[in-house]
Amino acid sequence: MRLSIVAAVLGLALAIPQALAQPSPVPSAKGPQCFSVRSFENWKALDAKTLYIRVTSRRYYRLDLAASCPRILAPSSHLITKWRGSNWVCSALDWDLSVSEDPVRGLESSCIVKTMTPLTEAEAAAIPRKFKP
């Protein structure tokens, strides 16, 4: 019994330095769905529950909202983004969106993102011109 405890402690002592020596993942290793918050460029609403966003001029995503957010359809609406966690957006959980019709004195309406879907080049090309960010 005592020998097995000593072996387990010795095994942990050898494994910890190796685990600490492993390089941490670089941002590019976050996956194809992720993007830097600095890359977010523009958005347009398809309807009160769907947004298209453009990232770095060639990448597009579809954001489906959990509930209707009618203020995003107003011509003077402003999207207010607050990023959670790191500077990388990888899923719907990373979004904290609100919309306001007047960014200076208007009230904000929260818009909860349910899903974030990266679009293929063909899907992005199929977005109607008036809805393309």
Which tens digit of pLDDT belongs to each residue from 105-128?
A: 667 889 999 999 999 999 999 999
pLDDT confidence band for 27 (50 / 70 / 90): very low
How far the first Cα of the chain sits from its last, in Å, is 66
- This prediction has a pTM of 0.73
76-107 CB burial, b ≥16 within 10 A, e <16: ebbbeeeeeeeeebeebebbebbbbeeeeeee
pLDDT digits (tens, 9 = 90+) for 40-93: 999 999 999 999 999 987 899 999 999 999 999 988 898 988 876 788 999 999
**Cα Rg, the chain, nearest whole Å:** 22
pLDDT confidence band for 99 (50 / 70 / 90): very high
